[in-house]
Structure 1
């Protein structure tokens, strides 16, 4: 069976552990992008096996179950935050006519994968988080990020796509051994020159197996991947949405935000950070 771009496959040598999409076919090899994980890998064509529709559905159903757990946790936290905001807006008094609105943080989301960007945008919309999404090849992100920051004026910027640690190119502390960490780090440095205060512009950077320490040192508030593991395509959204919907007066509880991700603290981490949401009164029709 001839393999084609867009085909869903697994790798025989890795015991079919992950579902991939073929994004490019070369001389005897294929470039693969993870269906659920933000991993970019290459493999010999003979090592690939096409996934049947039945197997694909089963794998996607398992992935959806994990996503549903994170979504429920996020919604529980959102309800608690809503009650706290109501209390703060009325100074603890019960007032039926005291209605307020929330100015949630605006997200600029740069993604190296158009398929992931669409999924992320849909989840932002479910969370009620304003987002401006841009699909850019990771290598081109540093060229574009400053103009995008000036145009969008975001409160939160997400810089993600695909990455991978290649152990045949060096040890885990050698940035040359990572596909795209250096581009993510350069974007973070540019964004920090644009806004140096870590509570005025919140940055998430990284993808699967990215060099966490480099991204944090460059100026990111949150990054992947502390244990150099694969992260889920939607993990950046859960972190950005939590920041967007948390009051600027409140610090983000790190364990709380990390437990809401699908991968957890082995895949994503960060530093103490405040939220960016602000309450307003009175509630007018145009604010709904």
Structure 2
């Protein structure tokens, strides 16, 4: 049974925390903002809330008395900061694309010859365990002029759906993500059973490799917050999270994909460039040498 929870503050006042509220965890200094997904009474007699990070791919459970309701002004300021970071990343993306396209043109035409070109970047299949994050990513793909087919599928069901979706869409790039994290009190980071969903991401990647073995023909990003990076790469992914078992940003898969989709098929992608293009960076994202999926077209049709 789910219901709104009531916290009694020191001054005697009441603060009602309900589903949809934005909160922080006092024991962590409210360092991450969460959305309350559900509130429930547990067998230990305490009331708990199930939480989801606003922009980090993190799910958590917390006792209600450890939560602090975040003021709407602070929430707005938080989102403004996220938007500024994302805007800066996208601005650098378009600047980089323009410079790289000039290099492709020089390779394709005679010196001084003016020919109008067109772009054919790689296409994307994005399978996400979180509906809200999927919608955020689909908006970002659209802003980045990428064709993406998006599906909201729970992590434990992704492996059963991946193969058919690949047959239907035949993408150049696959993203398999959602939520993950280390199970409470887990100490063996090498054990796949220490993670909430890493085994599901591994199974989904293995199914994708049953469809296409080559890491050049199908580029795969897989994982979420604190995922078992080594196991996901071993299963066949090109890029994965999380090398240092840190939290990753909801948009990190998007920026990895963009770099792959708009790098020429003639060029290997410098790992430092693709990972530097993400919000989390090397602590959260890593991978293997991979070739790009972008093709330059000449000439552009008048019709």
TM-score, reference length from structure 2: 0.90
Q: What residue in structure 1 maps to residue 104 of structure 2?
A: 85
Q: Which runs of 5+ in 2 are unaligned?
A: 1-14, 42-46
Q: Does 2:18 match 1:4? A: yes
Contact 1:170–1:176 (CA under 8 A) maintained in structure 2: no
User: Is the contact made by 1:165 and 1:177 (CA closer than 8 Å) also made in structure 2?
Assistant: yes
Larger radius of gyration: 2
Question: Which of 278, 286, 291 does residue 269 from structure 1 map onto?
Answer: 286
Rounded Cα–Cα distance in structure 2 between residues aligned with 1:220 and 1:170: 25
Contact 1:71 1:260 in 2 (8 A): no
Report the Cα offset of residue 170 of structure 1: 4.1
For 1:29, the equivalent position in structure 2 comes to 48
Q: Which residue of 2 aligns with 1:152?
A: 169
Output one character per residue of 1:215-271: Cα deviation in whole Å (capped at 9) or x when no partner.
100000000000000111101000001111111111011101111111001110000
Alignment partner, residue 60 of structure 2: 41
- Contact preservation (8 Å) 1:89, 1:100: no
Shift of 1:52: 1.1
1:73 & 1:266 partners in 2: Cα distance?
21
Which one of the candidate residues 146, 157, 171 is aligned to 1:140? 157
2:95 paired with 1:95: no
Q: Distance in 1 between matches of 2:104 and 2:141?
A: 20
Q: Could you say which residue in structure 1 is the equivalent of 2:208?
A: 191
TM-score by length of 1: 0.94
1:116 aligns with 2:130: no
Match of 2:32 in 1: 18
Measure how far apart 1:48 and its partner are.
1.3
Whole-Å Cα distance in 2 between the matches of residues 150 and 26 of structure 1? 41
**Corresponding residue of 1:171:** 188
SS of the residue 2:280 aligns to: coil
SS in 1 for 2:93: helix
C-alpha distance in 2 between matches for 1:112 and 1:285: 42
Distance apart, 1:24 and its partner CA: 2.5
Give the alignment's Cα RMSD to 1 decimal.
Answer: 1.4
| Matched residues, number | 284
Runs of 4+ in 1 over 3 A off after TM superposition: none
SS in 1 for 2:292: coil
Offset at 1:8? 1.0
Task: Tell me: higher relative CO, structure 1 or 2? Use CA pairs within 8 A at least 6 residues apart.
Answer: 1
Per residue, is there more strand in 1 or in 2?
2
